[in-house]
A and B are shown apart, each in its own frame.
Chain A
């Protein structure tokens, strides 16, 4: 969903009363909008009786939170040791080079965001990635190309 202040306010209100609400609120915002915009930080701070600096500190600490809207698809490619042992780095580089952007960036046409993650728990079917949250394992060059063709088109 596109950023929408009213919807965000409702999401924040729905979680604000939980003990230690910051992460549940931020996770819910990111899952609704795909990112946590600056405007949301002030709203979260207000609702949780925190300073904006505190909320910004939390948002910037965790690798998951995006500050800009992601592409239509998100590829989270594992870069941890078990995937490295199965040639994961070369495959990740192939994938990145074909999209032609850096890790953490979104393609200019808005098709895909590429992210590096460290371990998906798919270490016995390495190399692995998540495509919009769906696991893909035992990757090889052909499989990576197929995933890209399905994703970037």
Chain B
């Protein structure tokens, strides 16, 4: 009897014991004399079901999860005899509601293939996009990406095609593609998942970017907190180089492109593109004033495309299926799909790739299943530590760059962190200021000094001192930071602070000592 089994090697699965489960399954199979073929895949992104064990059947993969170490002997017995009768059987994985409702374009292979198998990558549509780019030519490739409506998935939402166009038109023999994999926003893990689960799609996307713009060298700047992603990307690059997909003659298409991984050192601000460039150049990660745009004077002063992991990883699909097909997904000026990441206190946490336009409420309540604690949802922070806190009253907001901006929020990199009703929003507002103070590069005053003073004033509010006057001071300070900071760190820290104040004011005012004394 032979069994074909799949278990993720994604660090989110490893964090809940996937390696131990894989080892135990293999050992038990040996003891029973079974022929068990185990493939380690990326994650499907349904983290509440991890470790997820899948078995190949003629009708597709059957899922089991979450599998604990103690479940292994009985599970293996069931896999041989009556898999669907096992209590952890989830049915066909792709029919699980959370998965079936998605539109997986960028993450089409993630969780299915062996991340480091080039054969798997090719047999699932890999390198069709680059092939098509080669036949379309550099200008046609830029046009196709422009037509797709793809906007920067790192958070800024700048049209990718226009950025590429600028670099393509810039003069000079030396240009760079820089992939921003400094995914520091809490609640986000899409970059990590794709790098660990489908690294070749990023390599292909960067290669297409190089071909389209005339850049010959790429850097992937990965944060040090992602040791597994770093290892997988390095291995994948070595494989691609060995197979002639990187190097002097990529895909035998007559153009040169190579790339390497660079590792950060724990500075959140290096996720800001100009700070990232300074860091790559070997300096403190200090934000640069713009202009000059990195597209014209970027890394080492050369024209540089700086794109987020997901932006680049979406390009192979766009090139193989066409920009118009990508553009057909989404709403308004937000075209295509977004890998929304559901995190924090949520029952069904994970990655949900969907066309823009789904409402925040649908994501949190229907897809995410509400809180993990079973208590009421009180606040949802969208877009990382610089994103606004939304109350359930704003759950009708569609996932769309402009719709969130219209409500003083941002979608950022697509992270959604859910809090239940035990959250103290004054504490969250203070944390936003403290985090900004901790991570500020120090170049501009509103961010460097403002964040420290902001945390101090909120501290006073939390002690109940002169609450009304101190809150007015915080609001005024937020305006200074918002309009006076050089980059999004200082400029957007007011979002979580002001949204907490606007939507959850009682958490601040209830602390007023003078009010308590008057009662």
Contacts and interface: CB of A to CB of B under 8 A. Distances in A.
Contacts of B127: none
Contacts of A65: 265
Interface in B423-443: 423, 428, 431, 435, 438-439, 441
A135 to B, nearest CB: 4
7 contacts: A63-B267, A118-B435, A121-B191, A121-B226, A130-B225, A135-B11, A138-B15
A82 B343 contact: yes
A22 B283 contact: yes
Interface in B250-294: 262-268, 279-285
Interface stretch (B182-190, B392-400, B483-491): B182-190
Contact of B12 (A54, A64, A135): A135
B265 A27 contact: yes
Given A80-B385, A85-B423, A125-B12, A120 B225 contact: yes
B280 A122 contact: no
A123 interface: yes
B282 A58 contact: yes
Contacts of A48: 282
A70 to B, nearest CB: 14
Contacts, number: 158
Given A19-B300, A123-B188, A137-B12, 16 more contacts: A20-B300, A48-B282, A63-B265, A63-B267, A65-B265, A81-B186, A82-B186, A82-B415, A121-B189, A123-B189, A123-B344, A125-B12, A125-B15, A126-B344, A126-B349, A128-B15
**Prevailing SS type, chain A contact patch:** mixed
Nearest to B226: A121
Contacts of B281: 19-20
Given A63-B266, A123-B349, A123-B417, A135 B14 contact: yes
Given A22-B282, A85-B423, A123-B343, A117 B266 contact: yes
Interface of B: 11-12, 14-16, 47-48, 50, 183-189, 191-192, 224-229, 262-268, 279-285, 300, 341-346, 349-351, 372, 381, 385, 415, 417-420, 423, 428, 431, 435, 438-439, 441
B96 to A, nearest CB: 15
Interface string A49-70: 0000010011001111100000
B515 to A, nearest CB: 27
A24 interface: yes
A1 interface: no
A137 to B, nearest CB: 3
B371 to A, nearest CB: 9
Given A19-B300, A22-B282, A124 B381 contact: no
Contacts of B189: 121-124
A84 interface: yes
A81 to B, nearest CB: 4
Contacts of B48: 124
